[in-house]
Amino acid sequence: QKEVEQNSGPLSVPEGAIASLNCTYSDRGSQSFFWYRQYSGKSPELIMSIYSNGDKEDGRFTAQLNKASQYVSLLIRDSQPSDSATYLCAVNLILTGGGNKLTFGTGTQLKVEL
């Protein structure tokens, strides 16, 4: 089982719709969860971080975390063509020998269509 799993997509939504991106993770000890946006040929850009169960909203973005189900999601409201990118879910895994490692899912490609 992969440590962090995402549907690779592409996920196509019309402009103005809500895009829903999902991620599951395997390590119950994970404490912190991140969503990064990556445009083609560019580096990952932080969109949201979430640490506690529930919802966290920032503008058009809402991150949702359910630790019992080992599930984290990102909702993008009023999707715009500029939101078209690959969205990477990242989970910080605590290593048995100490330290931690940010592990990424394979990313979901989002396409917002006019």
Partner 1 sequence: DTEVTQTPKHLVMGMTNKKSLKCEQHMGHRAMYWYKQKAKKPPELMFVYSYEKLSINESVPSRFSPECPNSSLLNLHLHALQPEDSALYLCASSQEASGTDTQYFGPGTRLTVL
Tokens, residue 22: 């999902």
Instruction: Tell me how far, at minimum, the Cβ of 26 lies from partner 1, in Å.
Output: 15
Distance CA 5, CA 111 (A): 19
Instruction: Tell me how far, at minimum, the Cβ of 87 lies from partner 1, in Å.
Output: 11
Q: Dihedral through CA 25, CA 65, CA 62, CA 58, nearest 10? A: -110
Binders in 24-83 for partner 1, by CB under 8 A: 31-32, 34, 36, 41-46, 49, 51
Taking the least distance from each CB to partner 1, the nearer of 20 and 32 is 32
Distance CA 36, CA 39 (A): 10
User: Can you name the residues that pair with 11 across neighbouring β-strands?
Assistant: 110
For 37, half-sphere exposure in the C-beta direction (CA atoms, 13 angstrom radius) is 13
| Residue from 76, 88, 110, 112 binding partner 1 (CB under 8 A) | 88
DSSP designation for 2: -
Instruction: Tell me how far, at minimum, the Cβ of 78 lies from partner 1, in Å.
Output: 25
Taking the least distance from each CB to partner 1, the nearer of 57 and 78 is 57
Contact residues for partner 1, defined by CB under 8 A: 31-32, 34, 36, 41-46, 49, 51, 88, 92, 94-95, 99-107
